[in-house]
Amino acid sequence: MREALAEFFGTAILITFGVGVVAQTVLSGNTAGSPLGIHLCWGIAVILGVYASAGVSGAHLNPAVTLALALRRGFPWRRVGPYVIAQVLGAFVGAAIVYLTYREAFAPLDGGVRQILGAQGTAGIFATYPAAYLSTFGAFVDQVIGTALLVAMVFAISDERNAPPAASLAPVFVGLTVMAIGMGFGVNAGYAINPARDFGPRLFTALAGWGGGVFTAANGYWWVPIVAPCVGAVVGGTAYDLFIRAHHPAQTNRLADPIQRVER
C-alpha cells in the first residue's frame, strides 16, 4: 500500500504540472505558453514526479514502465496491478486539480459548452488526440516508437554496468528523455507514451462535462495510447537488453578500473 500511495502521489504531481502547462497555453490562446514551453514543462513534471516518489516506490509513474520492469527486470507481478491502479488514479486526480484551478477559464473559450475537438475543443488539454492526417495505424506506430525510446533510455539510465548518472541525477535524465521525445516526436499524437497519463485524464473529461465522445473521437482512438505504449515498452526494454545489457564486459574487468571503483 505504501508503494501504491507513492505511485499515486508521484503520478498526480506529474499530471498536475504536465496538464497544467497545456491548460495555460490553450486557455490563454497561446499568449501564456508555447510548444517549447509545453515540452520543457512535461520534462520537468517527470523530474518532479520521480523525485517525489522514487524513495518509496521506485517512481515508475507509467504502467508501460511497470510492465517492462516486470518482464525484463524481475519486478514482482503481484505488484503490477496495485501500481497500475495507483498510477491511473493519480493521473485522474492530477487532471481534476488542473480543471479545478482553470475552471473559470474554459467558458470564455467555449461559451460554457465543453467541446472535444475543433477550434473550441479543450479535451486535448487533458488527454491526447491524433493529428487529423494520422491514421490509427500511424498513431499506433508513433506510440510504440516513442515508448520504446523512453523505456530503452530508462533501462540505460538505471543500468549500473553501463555509464549511468549518479542516482540523484537519474530523474533529471529521465525527464530530459521525455522532453526529447516531445520535441522530436510530439506532433503526430501528443506523445502520451504512458497509459495512465492518457486514460486517467480522459476518464476525468468523460465525467466532467465532455461526455463519452472522448472515447469515440478520432475513430475511437482512446485505446491506442493504452495498448501501443505497452508494446513499445516491451520492444524498447528488449532492444536495450539485446544490444547493450547482453554485451557488458565481465564484472571483474569493470571493477579493475579505479574510476568505476570510486563510482560504485
> What would the pLDDT profile of 61-100 be if each residue is shown by its tens digit?
999 999 999 999 999 999 999 999 999 999 999 999 999 9
Provide the pLDDT for residue 251. Answer: 64
Backbone angles phi, psi at 121, to 5 degrees: -75, 135
> What would the pLDDT profile of 165-201 be if each residue is shown by its tens digit?
888 899 999 999 999 999 999 999 999 999 999 999 9
- The 10 Å CB-count burial string (b at 16+, else e) for 8-25 is bbbbbbbbbbbbbbbbbb
Other C-beta atoms lying within 10 Å of the C-beta of residue 185: 17
**Summary mean pLDDT of the chain:** 93
Average pLDDT over residues 30-51: 96
Calculate the alpha carbon distances from 194 to 64, 86, 182, 207 in Å.
6, 13, 13, 21
> What would the pLDDT profile of 202-211 be if each residue is shown by its tens digit?
999 999 999 9
Provide the pLDDT for residue 263. Answer: 37
Full set of structural domains in the chain with CATH: 2-263 (1.20.1080.10)
Please, which residues have CB within 8 angstroms of residue 51's CB and are 6 or more apart in sequence? 59, 171
pLDDT at 254 over 90: no
Provide the pLDDT for residue 261. Answer: 34
Which three three-digit cell numbers place residue 233? 515498452
pLDDT at 256 over 60: no
Other C-beta atoms lying within 10 Å of the C-beta of residue 199: 21
Provide the pLDDT for residue 257. Answer: 39
Residue 253 pLDDT grade (very low, low, confident, very high; cuts 50, 70, 90): very low
